[in-house]
Structure 1
Amino acid sequence: MKQKQKDFLGKLAMAVTGMLIFSAGINFFIVPADLYNGGMLGISQLIRTLLVKYLHVFSGTTDIAGIINMLLNIPLCFIAWYYVSKSFFARTLICVISQTIFLSFLPIPSTPLVGDTLTASMIGGIIAGSGIGIALRAGGSSGGLDIIGMYFTKHFKNFSVGRISLCVNAVIYAICAVLFGVQTAIYCIIYSAVSTLMTDKAHTQNINTEVLIFTKNNPIKIMDYIVNAFNRDATWWEARGGYTEGKTFMVMAILSKYECAHLRRELRQIDEHAFIVEKDGIGIGGKYEKHL
């Protein structure tokens, strides 16, 4: 029990750290360059700009985009609670609250830290994307389109988190092009591309991995762990070793790279001599649910 609590607190600290890094990238580089994030935070930034620059309300030293983002996430958190999972809701809530605090209180430089917008968009993308990736690696989520994507992915076969994000971001950057000029929209797209690349490099949840486990005992226990811990199916069969011709067992499953890390740790407890083979980036057809 103590080890589980320690692991939970470690992941929680890692997720909050990821949100801190993400918020630093936004407040130190993206906001001073008058650029916009994608997703729900991008919508919040657009609302912030309309309120502050055009309606002349909420004009102060604190950026209210984080607060607006949290308000927009409140109804989405209920969707996460009822339609995704309670653990996903808890992780999302923690990340959204910490993100709101960091975005609200991290100081925004009065002048850009770098000389040109292109550099700001790339550095901001590297920092912000790395932060999101770290949070995802810890099992966290910044809410917003992640929740919407998970809901639609569960209920509609042809929907995916990436597709929804792409559509919403296209609308956000089209609005940026109309309100602030095409050049601003182009820099936002560059930032988004760099941020997405860094997120993919930093987290492992959406990398599909084929797993083959060779064990001389306990194939059923390994199967039970995969089914109960990850809500995945698996297949096992009896085989013969080519060198010793001794009896062995093979267990095969499709997991995310993130889930594989947990499986390797558990295998040390079930069968420390088990041999595991992983093949990343495989194509999958049929019924396979991505877990966030």
Structure 2
Amino acid sequence: MKVSLRKIIMDFFWVTIGTLLVTLSLDLFLAPNRIAPGGVSGLAVVLQHVFGWPIGAVTLAINIPLFLISTKVLGTGFGAKTLYSTILLGVSIDALAFLKPLTHDTILAAVYGGIIMGAGLGIVIKYGATTGGTDMAAMTLHKYIPFLSVGRILLIIDFIIITLAGIVFSPELALYALATEFITIKVIDLIQEGSGDERIAIIISDSYEEISKSILEEMERGVTELRGRGAYSKKDKNVLLCVVTRREVTTLRNLVKRIDPNAFVILSTAHEVLGEGFKNM
């Protein structure tokens, strides 16, 4: 499939924004407070404290060989965007190291460092790249130890790095690093899966036609009719499926209650909804 020049430019633009957010999380919050989250950047924070080596240079020195090894073992699937993000991260960490940390409160540094790092990594991943590091190492190792999943290998690597940080810094700072890692993962998931602002409604009612018509006309939302069958009654049922925003839930609930107070309604969160009336594909 041919990719437009505009899409390539936009992808690189957002990968740049995401990578710079990761840089700011390290320079403004994590590194000055000796919080070493998992991954290559966390290892670089530890090595800076022990040997005085620049974090960005260490990150590059580890990530570039990892990229080359992973490309040789796994193929060229990582692509130009990952190489670009990897180099930009290493260069920008040291280039922006002159910035003064925003806080020396460890709790604030762990929380906001995790949020900003998660946002940056989430954006980078969303636009088809990674910042290099332990994810490439985990995928490469998985090739040789397939009985361990990539996720489990990542967990082991991050655990080793955070344990090392606990030995070099203190057990308390290692706990802060774990908290940062947890927040980062949650924010990445939020960006990848969406905020969950939409709700899926499944409605079972004998008055399905009137309910369907009211949703279409009053709420101007699409409705899909599904064919169902009661396992106990063995009777055919018409099931309505529609998606509404969180703000429209009360309107939908009142609408159904007005028409059929005995209707069976299931509401659940949709992580992301693509299509007419919601986000574009």
TM bin, normalised by shorter chain, reads 0.5 to 0.7
What is the letter of the counterpart of residue 26 of structure 1? L
- Structure 2 partner of 1:95: 85
Aligned equivalents of 1:48, 1:164: Cα separation in 2: 25
Greater radius of gyration (CA) = 2
Would you say 1:81 and 2:71 are equivalent positions?
yes
**Secondary structure, counterpart of 1:86 in structure 2:** coil
Query: What's the offset of the Cα at 1:154?
Result: 4.6
Aligned equivalents of 1:141, 1:123: Cα separation in 2: 21
- Structure 2 partner of 1:165: 154
Change (3 A) 1:34 1:146: same
**Secondary structure, counterpart of 1:32 in structure 2:** helix
Of residues 143, 152, 160, the one that matches 2:141 is 152
- Structure 2 partner of 1:191: 180
Q: Which runs of 5+ in 2 are unaligned?
A: 194-225, 228-269, 272-281
How do 1:25-64 residues align onto structure 2 when only pairs under 5 Å count? 25-52=25-52, 64=54
- Structure 2 partner of 1:104: 94
Of residues 149, 159, 171, the one that matches 1:182 is 171
Q: Which runs of 5+ in 1 are unaligned?
A: 53-57, 59-63, 205-240, 243-278, 281-292
Aligned equivalents of 1:107, 1:178: Cα separation in 2: 25
Change (3 A) 1:21 1:134: same
Normalised by the length of structure 1, the TM-score is: 0.62
Query: What's the offset of the Cα at 1:179?
Result: 2.0
Number of positions where the alignment pairs a residue of Structure 1 with one of Structure 2? 199
Query: What's the offset of the Cα at 1:132?
Result: 0.4
Aligned equivalents of 2:72, 2:162: Cα separation in 1: 31
What is the letter of the counterpart of residue 141 of structure 1? T
**Secondary structure, counterpart of 1:31 in structure 2:** helix
What is the letter of the counterpart of residue 130 of structure 1? A
Identity of aligned residues (%): 26
Aligned equivalents of 2:180, 2:159: Cα separation in 1: 13
Query: What's the offset of the Cα at 1:125?
Result: 0.3
What is the letter of the counterpart of residue 184 of structure 1? L
Q: CA RMSD in A?
A: 2.6
Contact 2:33–2:104 (Cα < 8 Å) also in 1: no
Query: What's the offset of the Cα at 1:176?
Result: 1.9
Query: What's the offset of the Cα at 1:128?
Result: 0.7
Change (3 A) 1:5 1:153: farther
Of residues 58, 67, 77, the one that matches 2:57 is 67
How do 1:191-270 residues align onto structure 2 when only pairs under 5 Å count? 191-203=180-192
